[in-house]
Structure 1
């Protein structure tokens, strides 16, 4: 006899991948990649075209993503609160429509100043409503078992690898107008998937993936099964949250420094530009695999221990940079290892936030984490450049980052959080 679960839930013996959580996972993956992956994949390919089209400096032409990222960080706490109060589907659809409008405006922008204004005032808010916070929150709402792998999958930067080639083809035939209109069309097509978003299983009387029947019934009945909903002030005052944003900020600084300086570092060692560029490609491809690998690890040993492993393991390829010379193959392998471990940061952040603060506080806490990450995002690369100018090499910035990774590993190894809500995979 076939057993069934509570009304509206999936049959107990239904196929593993028949659960609606998997559909939400795919939609969140597409949303995150359209928000972040597509933007980063496109922009790096069009910098030279922007410089030539608007007769501007390379510095201004390359500033669009920096402006967008800064606005995203500043608005992240607002986005987190919106996700707690309103439908994720509505916010995501609003975000992709805002992006579509922004891309159309970019297609006909008369100057580089207007381009940067659009990236800050339109694309930045749109990405904030579509990207990391709502996408990761959607996954956190739907997954209990396997949350680490799910968050890792959502944050795989696949479009970063796809869109440079696609953008180059469109740019060659149709110019910047064609590139931006392509992005607008893709944003509009995404709406077809976003209309299927269900913010949480409770809206449909369902259970989260991996959740027991008793937990699902309590959730659907409105019981406070996950602990209290914290205010923004309470989240910021939490010692657990402070450890998260400091640790994730320092790890993020390492990733930003490396993606910005890995090619100049290789050139400084004596590699030619084509070979040096392969290091960045190796870094990017392996980062996608790292998101899944460390998501799996977090599901096995818990997010806190996974961050300890990530931080200490990351010191090894960084240290190898101090020892290797102008040999392309070893440097490409090391770059891949750097990317593999770097790709874990966003997913592990989500796992630890959910485990320590509870799914009910996930969106708001993630928003504040991204707000506090702004100085790390914008300070890491210039600081490395400044130290390079002062010392004539990259050894000092590399050593500083290794020290920060050791600090993060020790901090997470010895910290004992007071967990609020569901302790995922721990």
Structure 2
């Protein structure tokens, strides 16, 4: 096929990866809130219980990224992405056909697996192999949050016409042409991927886990990631509880996601200028103000506050990776990212149910949102202290190892 990074073939590869990302990760996170009340009724569970579905998605996504990383090297990126797209289609169809909450939890877990394979592991393998000089640009285009932007509003509108079952089955059907396009990709693997992983593995675990700034950053990022996940789950129910219509509440979540189109490049520029830890702390400050504003402001200010929150939250994955790279360099960033992600998994699992439980107990989202704002103040302190920690030279890290 030649070098897929050149000309139309490279553009086609990026386009297909963008579709796979949006129709797996985008659907998993961008539509969950729109289905929330419908799933409550279908499965006969309360708000705190149904929120565990998003916990299953987030936890399985993280575990799959950690566990399946080596397996993806033995598969071709095309097969990895195809497996993820197919898994997502099966999960969506299963959600539309079942009325068992236990089966639904398994389907949400399958959504997390599908998103990890199709939206994270496969495209990263392609970027590393075929776009070594432009991997950042390739992944930025792949991760454009298009479905996250339009998904909440679109699904809310379709639900009114097709109902819960029909909407899930329609989403599953949309994955079939995406799968066909993925299977037409002609991208494989090469030995350099294994060599890069071996090089990264040269940095021992002790050299990572003994650093205070690693723990401070990881814990601060965990709080931010958890609160961001909680917002995607509860934004639409929160808007409706405040008196907004279903479509208006969905627009609020769409604005949150769409603001990432501006937030990702902005905070990427800041990370290069002032360092990722400081950029993360600034992001946490903006999020803290936004959550407090949502709790205290009238509904007329929700769109603006959601945009602020989205612009500061959606760059988290990019800032997380940049922080690990700045701390450990090329020979340790990948391994450090994996361990750091493992630290935040418990936070991802518990945040959404806790917010749902608080709503059930108080009948009001505002106290829970103020508590989220307070937790983000803690995250800002952790990230600020990490940014003040003197970064040791890479040579010193290697010598200590």
TM-score relative to the length of structure 2: 0.75
Question: 39, 52, 64: which is aligned to 1:75?
Answer: 64
> 2: distance between equivalents of 1:251 and 1:167?
26
Greater helix fraction, Structure 1 or Structure 2: 2
Counterpart position of 1:36: 25
Deviations 1:93-129 (A, max 9, x none): 1222222233333333252332223323x33333332
State the distance in 2 between where 1:56 and 1:225 align. Answer: 44
Measure how far apart 1:35 and its partner are.
Answer: 1.7
Distance 1:110 1:257 in 2: 24
Counterpart in the other structure of 1:287: 260
Task: Answer with 230-239 or 346-355: which moved more.
Answer: 230-239
Match in the other structure for 1:343 = 314
Provide, for residues 222-250 of structure 1, a one-character-per-residue CA deviation record: whole Å limited to 9, x for no partner. 98799444488578647486565334323
Secondary structure at 1:156 match in 2: coil
Distance 1:118 1:387, change over 3 A: closer
CA distance in 1, matches of 2:93, 2:21: 20
User: What is the aligned partner in structure 1 of residue 398 from structure 2?
Assistant: none
1:138 to 103, 116, 126: 126
Residues 228-237 or 102-111, more deviating: 228-237
Q: Deviations over 1:11-35 (max 9, x none)?
A: xxxxx97386544433332222222
Shift, 1:90, TM fit: 1.9
Q: Distance in 1 between matches of 2:216 and 2:126?
A: 24
Aligned CA-pair RMSD: 4.3
> How far does residue 91 in structure 1 lie from its aligned partner after superposition?
1.6
Structure with the greater alpha carbon radius of gyration: 1
CA 1:229–1:282 in 2, change beyond 3 Å: closer, same or farther?
A: same
Q: Distance in 2 between matches of 1:142 and 1:242?
A: 33
How far 1:159 sits from its partner (Å)?
A: 0.8
- The structural deviation recorded for 1:340 is 0.5
**SS of corresponding position for 1:73:** helix
**How far off is 1:342 after superposition?**
0.8
Q: Encode CA deviations 1:64-96: one digit per residue, 9 max, x unaligned.
A: 332222222333310223234432222221222
The answer to whether the 8 Å contact 2:56/2:108 transfers is yes
Question: Aligned pair in 2 of structure 1 residues 406, 265: CA closer, same or farther (>3 Å)?
Answer: farther
Measured after TM superposition, the shift of residue 198 of structure 1 is 2.6
- Distance in 2 of aligned mates of 1:329 and 1:372: 37
1:252 equivalenced with 2:225 (yes/no): yes
Q: Which residue of 2 aligns with 1:409?
A: 384
8 Å CA contact retained: 2:229, 2:348: yes
> Any gaps of 5 or more consecutive residues in structure 2?
396-401
Find 2:281's aligned residue among 305, 311, 321: 311
Residue-pair matches, total: 385
Task: Output the CA distance in 2 between the equivalents of 1:357 and 1:52.
Answer: 48
Unmatched runs of 5 consecutive residues or more in structure 1: 1-7, 11-15, 204-218, 421-426
Structure 2 distance, partners of 1:85, 1:361, is: 22
Query: What corresponds to 2:348 in structure 1?
Result: 377
Identify if the C-alpha distance between structure 1 residues 34 and 261 changes in structure 2 by more than 3 Å, giving closer, same or farther. Answer: closer
Cα 1:378/1:51, change in 2 over 3 Å:
closer
Which stretch shifts more, 304-313 or 66-75? 304-313
Aligned to 1:155: 143
Q: Does 1:180 align with 2:168?
A: yes
> Does residue 273 of structure 1 match 2:273?
no
